[in-house]
Structure 1
Amino acid sequence: MIAILICIAAYLLGSISFSYLIAKFVKKIDIRDHGSGNAGATNTLRVLGTGPAITVLALDVIKGILAVWLGYWFSSEPIVPFLAGICAILGHNWPIFFGFRGGKGVATTIGVFATIAFLPALYAGIIAIFAIVITRFVSLGSLIFVVLTPAFIFLLGGNPASYILLGTILAILSVWRHRTNVKRLFTGTESKLGQKVEQ
């Protein structure tokens, strides 16, 4: 029962869309009607600029961290923190407070992975950052991070087998959420970091 309550709380936490709230506060707009239409840090950068984007990124990462810690604080089951993190990501992607129209969950996934398996997430993050710097495709870096982190969890060992399974599920979810980005990457039409998207 406690695990269910933790997961519900994590989902509600994840459902707080900081991109939406900050866009409403700064410009009185619905971020989902501008730029790429995504309620996340990258679109916030395109529409609102660097400061708001950094704020959204940090807060979305913190959502993932707090969700995992809810599991650590209130349950002794090792799988519950990871499940809580997944629920926070689901909340971010499909927020109950905002008509189930959210983001793609990358920043929140970063918070979850970094808290659950720091070294695998760190190694994957370094590679992802290099990919973004070289190509200027944030979506490519995001995909690299979510795919490599469960791979490193497996390769480095020291984590429950369930973490590999749940990490792989998260990777599949993220790739699916980025399916339009994947298509644009293959067709050469994906927007690069710093490139303005038509409003």
Structure 2
Amino acid sequence: MSALALLMIVFAYLLGSVSSAIIVCKAFSLDDPRLRGSGNPGTTNVYRLGGPVPAGLTLLGDILKGMIPVWAAYYLDLSPIILGLVAIAACLGHIYPLYFKFQGGKAVATALGAMFPVASEMALLLIVTWVIVFWVSRVSSLAALITVALSPVYAWFIKPQYTVPAIMLAALIIWRHRTNIIRLWRGTEVSFQRKAKKKPSTSQKPNE
């Protein structure tokens, strides 16, 4: 492995260690996402704590953490395997952040951001997949798991040279979701329930 490749891997980990969720929650005077809600410093939990604006900023930050180092490595013409290692390093930084006592999130958005520089069509496909699965199931973790599981398949059809890096990323994200998989199997995973429409009150007497 070249010194440049090693430098990019270290850079990706250090950038990935910047926790968007914790920073955004502090900026909006919200509770620490590691101590509230699901305990996961990620977009979904920030949404529960603060709503769409903090969640959107968290999502953007997490995507950029994966996109920037992989884009730089791609621009430097590093091999697909090295790009995969750079992407994994960014995700590991998100999962085990150096600056936040190694308490991080699930790295789904960071992995998605890592795919944009090399295969934007694939990244858009993954976004559509996540949206569809989440819209049907209302379970964020299930949407993430199905999306990352399909990423190597999409890579094979769109850019086959990145199939192995996609498998590497998918394996890491699925492993990180192992507790979610157990809860899904047991039927205890938290979901976003659709709000039921209010029925008109029947207690009032009709006008005479």
TM over 0.5, shorter chain? yes
2:160 match: 159
Structure 2: gaps (5+ residues): 195-208
1:14 match: 16
**Percent identity among equivalent residues?**
39
Letter in 2 for 1:73: Y
Letter in 1 for 2:119: A
1:80 and 1:70 mapped to 2: Cα distance? 12
TM-score for the superposition, normalised by structure 2: 0.85
**Greater helix share, structure number:** 1
1:30 match: 32
TM-score for the superposition, normalised by structure 1: 0.89
Does the Cα contact within 8 Å between 1:124 and 1:144 map onto a contact in 2?
no
Of structures 1 and 2, the larger Rg is shown by: 2
1:174 shift after superposition? 0.9
1:172 and 1:42 mapped to 2: Cα distance? 21
1:136 shift after superposition? 0.6
1:170 match: 169
Give runs of ≥4 in structure 1 deviating > 6 Å: none
Moved more, 163-172 or 101-110: 163-172
Structure 1 residues 169 and 15, CA gap change in structure 2 (3 angstroms)? same
1:72 shift after superposition? 2.2
The aligned length equals 192
* 1:147 equivalenced with 2:149 (yes/no): yes
2:75 and 2:154 mapped to 1: Cα distance? 26
* 1:193 equivalenced with 2:192 (yes/no): yes
1:4 match: 6
2:90 match: 88
Structure 1: gaps (5+ residues): none
Letter in 1 for 2:38: S
Does the Cα contact within 8 Å between 1:41 and 1:57 map onto a contact in 2?
yes
Letter in 2 for 1:181: N
Query: Within 5 A, what are the aligned runs for 1:62-101?
Result: 62-101=64-103
What secondary structure is seen at the aligned counterpart in 2 of 1:186? helix
Does the Cα contact within 8 Å between 1:93 and 1:104 map onto a contact in 2?
yes
* 1:116 equivalenced with 2:118 (yes/no): yes
Does the Cα contact within 8 Å between 1:35 and 1:43 map onto a contact in 2?
yes
Letter in 2 for 1:69: W
